[in-house]
Amino acid sequence: MKQKGLRTTKREQLIQAALPLFAKNGIHATGIDTIVEHSGVTKKTLYAHFRSKEELVLAALRHYDGQFRNSFMRQVERKARTPKTRLLAIFDVAETWFSQQSFYGCLFINAVGEHSAPDTSLRYVCSDFKRMMTEFIFELCIKMKARNPQQLAEELAILLEGAIVTAQVSQKPNAAKIAKRAASVLIEKQRSHEPHQE
């Protein structure tokens, strides 16, 4: 329920309508007419806010970027208290995500799969999202005092990416559990074993 005084703008309506359509059906397969129909906004209003479908796609991806990352990080922080357990909790949060009925894989992986051209605004938005997710992992690795935090962050990020794709393609939410087991081994190898570093 919306709080009194808070109104969704037409621009937000369009983005909120477009995102689930892009996630479920893909960007190419989702036409402007479909977005307009689901948003309750006229085509004229859409083009008043976005000069093209590409502009709407970029705005939707940027919106989803902040929304998803903030939610994901908050869930990780709620699930665990120490840097080590938070690194492992990443995969618990991922498992919950994979189990949702609305899980259609990573929107950014799917977007790049549909738009293979390099040096595009869309690719930059997608790569920025992945970079910031890896930075979140990297910061936890530093706090854990890993021997090589950059290496560990890159390894854990790759495990997470692999789990996402496996969960999507093979419909296996337990891909997160498998990735977590591998992550646990990598984390133990990198621990300084000083007291209170968990």
Closest by CA to 22, choosing from 81, 87, 102, is 102
Per-residue model confidence (pLDDT) at position 5: 42
**Residue 2 scores a pLDDT above 70:** no
**Residue 83 scores a pLDDT above 70:** yes
Indicate the average pLDDT of the chain. Answer: 92
Mean pLDDT of 2-22: 81
**What kind of architecture, by CATH, is found in domain 61-190?**
Orthogonal Bundle (1.10)
**Residue 197 scores a pLDDT above 50:** no
Q: Between 161 and 118, where is the model more confident?
A: 161
Instruction: Output the pTM of the full model.
Output: 0.88
Sketch the domain layout of the chain as residue ranges. 61-190
Mean pLDDT of 36-49: 95
**Residue 32 scores a pLDDT above 60:** yes
Q: Between 120 and 2, where is the model more confident?
A: 120
Mean pLDDT of 32-56: 95
> CB neighbours of 32 closer than 8 A, spacing ≥ 6?
43, 46, 53
End-to-end alpha carbon distance in the chain: 40
The region that residue 105 occupies, defined by phi over 0 for left and psi between -120 and 50 for alpha, beta otherwise, is: left
10 Å Cβ neighbour count for 1? Answer: 3
Mean pLDDT of 58-68: 96
Instruction: Tell me the pLDDT tens digit for each residue of 125-180.
Output: 999 999 999 999 999 999 999 999 999 999 999 999 999 999 999 999 899 999 99
Extract the tokens encoding 76: 């990780």
